[in-house]
Structure 1
Amino acid sequence: MSGKGTGRVVAVTGASGGIGRAAARAFAGRGDRVALLARGEKGLDAAAKDVEDAGGTALPLSVDTADFGQVDAAADRIEKEFGPIDVWVNDAFTSTFAPFTEISADEFKRVTDVTYLGYVYGTKAALNRMRSRDRGTIVQVGSALAYRGIPLQSAYCGAKHAIQGFTESLRCELLHDKSGVHVTMVQMPAVNTPQFDWVLSRLPNKAQPVPPIYQPEVAADAIVYAADHPKRREYWVGGSTAGTMLGNKFAPGLLDRYLAKKGYASQQTSRPRSPDRPSNLWEPVDDEDGRDYGAHGRFDRRSRSGDMQVWASRHHGQLAAASGAVAFGVVKKALRR
């Protein structure tokens, strides 16, 4: 499905579903040429159609991001068919919903390989091509859980913390080199994606995101904005993300106790989980059942399509200036008394 486009060349990992799928559509809506990296053929084919329908040009590539050889070969193919990569978005992940003691060593390693090392490999493949041109942008799709771990998601939280540390180190190195390549991170809230129906779960009931829940298009819009404004080190999406990160900064012990009490129930619905439900830890679920899961999960009626925090994150400079002006005015008025 290669061809000439009018926009930039964008690579999105995890593009067959959820946030990655929504981001691919958002880039395509601008006329970008979008390379879609994921494992499941059914989801990839549907995502490619989404991109074409939105006005972009699609290149679907079946890739396991836990394998650097596959990721690097995909980058070669993208540049051969589309030209130099302008934006690389790391989003692919997998997870488990279970207490740490119920996760095997192999399962924990697999989550880490995909969710952490997949970002490392995607970043390395992008940098290997961007540095010589001294331009390009890498967007890391993060989470509030990069700062605050929660129960029942130890492997995922550990990977997101690792991505945060890795990205900070890399950013410092790029600044030291005065590189024209930029890396930024977008910290996400709970999002209505299919992950709650396809990640490995050992919970008694069906998994759910911790409310408030946001639609994947909110996340996608933030990713596109970050790609256009990559000099900001990170963006926070959703008031819950800001609240979680600030709460953990000032009262982490209180959050420990709160999550110990509420964190199990808040991540499950009242409906029992089917013991026969497939998971995507080792193989893509859409190839098993022949179903395209799309961008949205099963929580549409409970999900938000916008949030003031998204605007605030983009305009933090103006908000800081306005706050400073107000504070100065208050002090000045007080001194006149």
Structure 2
Amino acid sequence: MAIKLKPLREQVLVVTGATSGNGLATAEAATARGAAVVAVARNQAALEALRERLSAKGARIAICVADVSDLAAVEAIVPVAVAAFGGFDTWVNNAGAGTYGTVEQVPVEDHRRVFDVNYFGVLHGSLVAARHLRTRGGGAIINVGSILSDRAIVQQGPYCATKHAVQALTDTLRMELEQEGAGISVTLIKPGAIDTPFPEHARNFMNAAPSLPPPLYAPEVVADAILFACAHPRRTLYAGGGGLLSSLLARAAPRLTDAIMDVAGTRLQQKPGDAGDPARRDNLYHPRADALRGSQTVRARSSSVALQIQKAGSPMLVVGMLGGGAALAVAARMLRARR
């Protein structure tokens, strides 16, 4: 069956992790463009506030409290969508959790929890979404991965491992649905560093406040990629040229990338004296205060030329543009780190 996706304004989207960062940006942008949204998160108060705020603007929104690591809770999202809007057309697996610290510092139970949310949460959502979308003749499943699907980074071992697993799961699901002729598009979004509360929400075992390495992009860049994939079948979309450059470099020169991590990987992920809002700290097992952006002092780009080129259908042009500057970028970063 050929994949035929509806225009965004005619769609109903399920968005997990909808009260913070990329999920919140996606819910806001989708409703602003006429789509209906079923917003899913653990934070009931934040969900109710989101529904009130967007409903006041005329948005079509329903909410569902769920921890995506719980399959029964994920399955319960479907009747909410059916009752509110008759079903859904796109499912966005966005919810995520993380830790900062070495593989040995992070307790095994925390490794498991990151996998429960980031991998099994995506698996649960994908299984539930595929089952429903078959009854509607197709639709889209969009998984939010990371550039760390391509390249691991120090101090985020469990998170990197889950994103590698999500990439494998996404690719396998896509092939199986294609083989079946289900008419379901499966897209992996790979954001770079995005200015969300992730560093504040992550459980931290380092001796300094965690942060994201530059360049950072606004969460609206990820929302742009997600909403494009809702209506246009794509295999992969990188959200942010900086992240794409890092992935290209890691593939072309893995040992050199290791050397950069040795020199600067930890330092680039620490922000001494700027831990952000303490009310957001450590949401690994329980929800904390949510927000669109992080509260640390950072600079974030509001758009991505690389993403716009991908949307235009020219991924090889992106590779050419960014690949040519990879060596210079690496050399400059190494020099800065050594100084």
- Equivalence for 2:158: 155
Matched, 1:296 2:293: yes
- Deviation of 1:200 (Å): 0.6
Contact 2:62/2:80 (<8 A) preserved? no
5+ residue gaps in structure 2?
1-8, 321-339
Q: Do 1:30 and 1:55's aligned partners in 2 also have CA atoms closer than 8 Å?
A: no
2:82 is matched by which residue type in structure 1? E
Kept after mapping to 1: 8 A contact 2:200/2:275: no
SS at match of 2:237: strand
Aligned with 2:10: secondary structure?
coil
What's the counterpart of residue 170 of structure 2?
A: 167
Match of 1:250 among 249, 252, 276: 252
Q: Distance in 1 between matches of 2:229 and 2:53?
A: 22
Structure 1 CA distance for aligned equivalents of residues 44 and 270 of structure 2: 29
Secondary structure of the structure 2 residue equivalent to 1:84: coil
Secondary structure of the residue aligned to 2:160 is helix
| Distance (Å, rounded) in 2 between the aligned partners of 1:272 and 1:317 | 39
Q: Structure 1: where are the runs of 5+ without partners?
A: 1-5, 287-292, 324-337
**60-69 vs 27-36, which moves further:** 27-36
Q: Which residue of 2 aligns with 1:312?
A: 309
Opposite residue 87 of structure 1, the aligned amino acid is T
Higher radius of gyration, 1 or 2: 1
> 2:294 is aligned with what amino acid?
G
Q: Which residue of structure 2 lines up, in the alignment, with residue 56 of structure 1?
A: 59
1:266 and 1:46 mapped to 2: Cα distance? 34
- Cα distance, 1:7 vs. partner? 3.3
Aligned partner of 1:259 in structure 2 is 261
Q: Deviations over 1:49-83 (max 9, x none)?
A: 34324542111111000000000011122112211
Deviation at 1:272, TM superposition (A): 6.6
Q: Give TM-score scaled by structure 1 length.
A: 0.87
Aligned structure 1 segments of 4 or more residues deviating by more than 3 angstroms? 316-320
Q: Please give the secondary structure, in 2, of the residue aligned with 1:102.
A: coil
Answer yes or no: is the 8 Å Cα contact 2:78–2:87 preserved in 1: no
Residues in 2 aligned to 1:53 and 1:21: alpha-carbon distance in whole angstroms: 16
1:28 touches 1:54 (CA, 8 Å); kept in 2? no
State how far apart, in whole Å, the 2-side matches of 1:51 and 1:141 are: 23
Tell me how far 1:204 sits from its aligned partner.
1.5
- Structure 1 CA distance for aligned equivalents of residues 244 and 304 of structure 2: 12
Specify the code of the residue in structure 2 equivalent to 1:244: S
Q: How does 1:190-269 map to 2 (within 5 A)?
A: 190-230=193-233, 232-269=234-271
Determine the C-alpha separation between the residues in 1 that align with 2:53 and 2:240.
26
Which residue in 1 is equivalent to 2:147?
144
